Amino acid sequence: MTNGDPSVVVRDLVKRFGDFVAVDHISLEAQRGEIFGFLGPNGAGKSTTIRMLCGLLHPTSGHATVAGIDVAREPEKVRQQIGYMSQKFSLYNDLRVIENLRFFGGMYKVSSSALPERIRWALDMAGLTDRESAITGTLATGWKQRLALGCAVLHRPPILFLDEPTSGVDPISRRQFWELIHRMAGEGVTVFVTTHYMDEAEYCNRLVLIYRGQIVASGSPTELKQRAMKGELLLVECEPLGPALETLKSAPGVMDAAVFGDALHLVVPEASEAVHTLNSYLSERGIRVKKIETIRPSLEDVFVSLTTTHAQSAPDRRPQ
């Protein structure tokens, strides 16, 4: 469904607001049909990066081409090649569904002959076929987000930028939304998506982990899990949790310890060996162990592991 060059190439992109460095020398490359995930906590610089790639913010330094066009030099040309969904819902709440679609169809110069078909397609995709005359503000969040996606792709852009498209959306709608994203990627659209939901990151072909404006890791979800975790992961259920965490942090052979829900996750060099030593180590210190087992790391573990090592090695970028 695409036309034009779907690639995105970013070299040493920097954005400063005053003396706060929001994006700190980011470089990346995305290919046609890739779902490219930006993962990171709030304020890590995900939205700022996407906004620069859409030409909404001017980079302080560095270089970015989107669809083969220099973003800083020709932002208007880039805009015809991309679809963008901002973090906050930003269609017109006082317009009807169909009026929003017609408006954005007009903004993207979709030809009048093609527009009715594109609008029908968007309505069908968003599941809004029988609600086209509803006032947009009255729709539930999940529907709004799919309508926003529909508006952003009316002109069949080869590249799509989605900034936290599923925040505040219920789990079923989130799943439906990701199915849509996959369908579009299957048709050759390059999709850039930011999220702080770790489970969503698993849907991406390629991930970039951003922390404090810098890329701390990148690769496919599987690659990241294998490469980033030096050692193996243990789940420990015990009581009391607080003292156990304190004790384990200084226990021999434990590389990292963190609370996950009502249990602890430990990183150790070799799992089967550690299970025995830790069991007795904890019992000796009066901690009742309910369960210790080896688990496969989730992206959340990877993320915690990477950001803690990064935070220790890199100086704070916030002036204080």
Partner 1 sequence: MNWRRLAAMAHKELIQIFRDPRSLLVVVAMPILLMFAYGYGISFDIKHVPICVLDRDASQQSQDLLKHFQASEYFRVVKVANNYRELNAAIDAGRCQLAVVIPWDFSRKLAAGGKVEVQAIVDASDNNTANVSMSYSEAVIRGYSQQVQLEWLQRHGLAGASTASAPIRVDARTWFNENLESSAGIVPGVVVMVMAVVGTFLTSLTIAREWERGTMEQLISTPVTSMEVMLGKLAPYFVIGMLDTTLCAVLGVLWFDVPFRGRWSVFFLSSTLFLIVVLSLGYFFSVVGKSQMAANQMAMLATFLPTFLLSGFIFPIDQMPVPVQVISWVLPARYFMTIIRSVFLKGTSLAQLQTNLLALGVFAALLALLATRAFHKRLD
Asked if 94 interacts with partner 1 (CB under 8 A), we say yes
Q: Kindly identify the residues of this chain, within the stretch 42-61, that bind partner 1 according to CB under 8 A.
A: 51, 54-58
Are 226 and 301 contacting, i.e. CB atoms less than 8 angstroms apart? no
Structure tokens at 191: 């999709």
Find the shortest distance in angstroms from Cβ 120 to partner 1. 18
Asked if 103 interacts with partner 1 (CB under 8 A), we say yes
Instruction: Pick from 3, 61, 80, 138 the residue near partner 1 by CB under 8 A.
Output: 80
Are 52 and 194 contacting, i.e. CB atoms less than 8 angstroms apart? no
Structure tokens at 202: 């698993």
What is the rounded CA–CA span in Å between residue 66 and residue 73?
11
Find the shortest distance in angstroms from Cβ 79 to partner 1. 4
Nearer to partner 1 by C-beta: 94 or 130? 94
Q: Could you tell me whether strands 82-85 and 159-163 are parallel, antiparallel, or unpaired per DSSP bridges?
A: parallel
Asked if 17 interacts with partner 1 (CB under 8 A), we say yes
Candidates 83-91, 164-172, 200-208, 209-217; binding stretch for partner 1 (CB under 8 A) = 83-91
* Cα angle 158, 111, 123; round to 5: 70
Q: Is 160 left (phi over 0), alpha (psi -120 to 50) or beta?
A: beta
Nearer to partner 1 by C-beta: 54 or 181? 54
Give the binding-site size for partner 1 (rule: CB under 8 A): 35
Asked if 114 interacts with partner 1 (CB under 8 A), we say no
Nearer to partner 1 by C-beta: 56 or 258? 56
Asked if 73 interacts with partner 1 (CB under 8 A), we say no
Q: Where are the alpha helices (DSSP H) in the chain?
A: 46-53, 75-81, 97-107, 115-126, 141-152, 171-186, 198-201, 221-228, 241-249, 271-284, 299-313
Nearer to partner 1 by C-beta: 107 or 259? 107
Asked if 265 interacts with partner 1 (CB under 8 A), we say no
Asked if 129 interacts with partner 1 (CB under 8 A), we say no
Asked if 102 interacts with partner 1 (CB under 8 A), we say yes
Q: Specify the 3-state DSSP secondary structure of 116.
A: helix
Q: Specify the 3-state DSSP secondary structure of 310.
A: helix
Residues that bind partner 1 (CB under 8 A): 17, 51, 54-58, 75-76, 79-80, 82, 84-86, 88-95, 99, 102-109, 112, 148, 151
